[in-house]
Structure 1
Amino acid sequence: MADRKDSKTPSKSGLMKKKEKKVDKAEGKPEKEKNKDKDEKMKKKTEQNDAVSQGNGEIAEGAKGQDKNEDFELEPMELPPFQIIVGDRMCPSFFKFQFKNVEYSSGRNKTFLCYQVDIQGAAVESEGLRGYLEDEHSGSHAEEVFFQQVLAYYDKSLNYTVTWYTSSSPCVSCAAKLIEILRARKTLRLNVHCSRLFQWDDPETQAGLKALVKAGCKLRMMRPVDFSYVWSTFVENEEDNFTPWEDCQDSYDYYDEKLQDILK
């Protein structure tokens, strides 16, 4: 979401002075000019209200309605557009924060997905596909967008092996959509390696992951060696070696145990 800036409210004495000044100024105007000023002010207020009502239905703090004691208008703030970010390599700080396999993932409210696609069976050997994407203020999650933007075209005469390294496991909705895709694309194999489990204690999420594996997806947690691979392959690392964060192995063991319990 866009950064919200606090609006400073004038003191009561300041408002009284502002009102008195406007009254003195208005007294010297003819009645016709007073009515003209009033009409222009009402028009401006209507235009501002219309501007606030457009967009995503959200009103930022800078676009809130007037307080009955206030005598000024606040400009509406525009929210950022919905978008999906696609690239070859991500920023190191993004990787270290978004992929960290901590138990409590506070502030990590988006999905980073690194992908590698191997294609076999073509007359001319394909180099495959490789890159990453992230969902930001988006209605579609990264897992679904991959099949909309990266691998939208599917040739049933070819064999596809898709490998993902994701910052978190699929949600209920994404699991259901991935199952539909796997059923429709018989020559596609999907391997998903997750840094963290998303809402692993929710029964619906657990059922979705079990159904996804049953549909043919290979699902497992990322090991320290996987983080090292993602660092060297999908991160702008400037040829620096990956140094695992503290408890990287312990966190893998923790999540792997949870996943095995879900998939029993």
Structure 2
Amino acid sequence: MASGWNGGHVARGITQRGKISQEAFKENYDPSGLPKETYLLYEIKWSNSRKPLQKCCHNTPTEHAEIHFLEDVFKKQGSDPSVHCSITWYMSWSPCGDCCKEIRDFLKNQPNVNLVIYIARIYWHKEENNRQGLRSLVNLGVTIRIMDLPVYSYCWRTFVDDEDKDEDYWPRHLAPWIMLYSLELQSILQNIPSCLEISLEENQAPIFRLCVENEQWKKSLTSANP
């Protein structure tokens, strides 16, 4: 994945206060697009009533965003193992299979940490290593969900830089993309074949298509997404 990292914590699309710019949010969290970078908006809450930490980061030339958070952001917080910690990620791409393994190892070593992940889209959704990685996180107790309208609104209010910010923001025709990625996530978690086809034409917007040939799989997905 490409990166605009400048050598410090402040990077392209991230302000000095750790907020994401309006342009970067719109570009990277619109599920109808396929941006190259991964942004991670994070919220860390401790049970001892410390002020929640709400900032963002993205991948560097050498680390995916998830690893940067685990190795650089979280370690610097000096978390007390006896204090329960709740972490929520709002990601422009879901974790890849290799990152899922690192996340599992992190959580096994941090039993006081609870992790919830919201994603705008699924990274290389047909790669079995990535699909298995997401299933393994859910089996470990991690909650993974596709970002919906209330979540987009929350992220806009909480993590986007305030300068000249519109009152609210919704990606165009958001509902169909939420449905498509929600169905694909269910296919992953239920361990059935991919139902999402994405066609890429040069210099054109990607084309998304739902494709479920097996009737039993259709019933399974429908029951999971009423």
TM-score range, shorter chain: 0.7 to 0.9
The one-letter code of the counterpart of 1:150 is V
User: Which among 234, 242, 245 is matched to residue 171 of structure 2?
Assistant: 245
**Local SS of the residue matching 1:155:** coil
How far apart in 1 are the matches of 2:39 and 2:29? 8
| 1:196 alignment counterpart | 121
1:115 alignment partner, SS class: strand
Cα gap change, 1:81/1:224 in structure 2, threshold over 3 Å: closer, same or farther?
A: closer
More displaced, 235-244 or 220-229? 235-244
Match of 2:62 in 1: 139
Instruction: List aligned pairs for 1:10-29, cutoff 5 A.
Output: none
1:88, CA displacement in angstroms? 2.3
1:194 to partner: Cα distance? 0.2
Q: Contact 1:182/1:216 (CA < 8 Å) preserved in 2? A: no
1:217 corresponding residue in structure 2: 142
Distance 1:117 1:243 in 2: 24
- The counterpart of 1:261, out of the listed 174, 187, 203, is 187
Find the partner of 2:112 among 187, 195, 214.
Answer: 187
Q: Distance in 2 between matches of 1:188 and 1:177?
A: 14
CA displacement, residues 183-229 of structure 1 (integer Å, 9 cap, x when unaligned): 11101000000001001111111111101111121101000221111
* Matched letter for residue 117 of structure 1: I
Is the Cα contact below 8 Å between 2:22 and 2:165 reproduced in 1?
no
Q: 1:114, CA displacement in angstroms?
A: 0.5
Residues 140 and 231 from structure 1, CA distance in 2 versus in 1: closer, same or farther, beyond 3 angstroms?
A: same
Q: Which amino acid aligns with 1:147?
A: L
Q: Which stretch shifts more, 110-119 or 80-89?
A: 80-89
1:97 aligned onto 2:21: no
Code of the residue aligned with 2:168 in structure 1: it is F
Q: What amino acid does structure 2 have at the position aligned with 1:195?
A: A
Counterpart amino acid of residue 190 in structure 1:
L
Structure 1: runs of 5+ lacking an equivalent: 3-79
State the match for 2:160 in structure 1.
235
In structure 2, the partner of 1:111 is 38
Q: Distance in 2 between matches of 1:147 and 1:231?
A: 24
Q: Which amino acid aligns with 1:253?
A: M
> Equivalents in 1 of 2:125, 2:182: separation in Å?
11
1:151 is paired with a residue whose SS is: helix
- The correspondence for 2:50, drawn from 122, 126, 131, is 126
- Tell me the C-alpha RMSD between the 2 structures: 2.1
1:154 corresponds to: 79
CA distance in 1, matches of 2:6, 2:30: 27
In structure 2, how many angstroms separate the alpha carbons of the residues matched to 1:254 and 1:168? 15
Whether the aligned pair in 1 keeps the contact of 2:45 and 2:52 (CA below 8 Å) is: yes
* 2:59 counterpart SS class: strand
Q: How many positions carry a matched residue from both structures?
A: 181
* Conserved 8 A contact 1:82-1:139: no
Shift of 1:81: 6.2
Q: Give the superposition deviation at 1:154.
A: 3.0
Q: How much does 1:245 deviate?
A: 2.2
In structure 2, stretches of 5+ residues that fail to align are 191-226
| 1:23-73 superposed Cα distances (whole Å, 9 cap, x missing partner) | xxxxxxxxxxxxxxxxxxxxxxxxxxxxxxxxxxxxxxxxxxxxxxxxxxx
Rounded Cα–Cα distance in structure 1 between residues aligned with 2:93 and 2:20: 16
Between the aligned partners of 2:129 and 2:59, the Cα distance in structure 1 is 22
